Amino acid sequence: MYAIVDIAGQQFKVEKEVKLYVNRLEGEEGAEVDFDKVLLIDNDGKVKVGTPNVKNAVVKAKILSHLKGDKVLVFKKKRRKGYQKLNGHRQLLTRIQIEDIVTK
């Protein structure tokens, strides 16, 4: 059984007991979170597609940790002008574990 879920503006394919990184979520480590924007559920070949969301479907997850992603360097340059600019960025992430996919 798997589901396609919209979490913090991004779509993820999730299954039970899967761990994944998403954009930073509100909540403390160890807190339970529910995602109700379920776009699709596949239960052993029986596919339910939402319009746009599947009704009465919830994905339950647990926040494992908050962390920062790897550094991404952005380098800009204009040739023959002496212009150079170097910027760095580290995305704020949350690691979650999917506990259960519930349909009613």
Residue spans of the domains in the chain: they are 2-66+97-103
Would you say residue 104 has pLDDT above 90?
A: no
Would you say residue 92 has pLDDT above 90?
A: yes
Q: What band does 14 get if pLDDT is binned at 50, 70 and 90? A: very high
Average pLDDT score over the chain: 96
Q: What band does 9 get if pLDDT is binned at 50, 70 and 90? A: very high
pLDDT at res. 57: 95
Would you say residue 85 has pLDDT above 90?
A: yes
Strands 83-103 and 32-35: unpaired
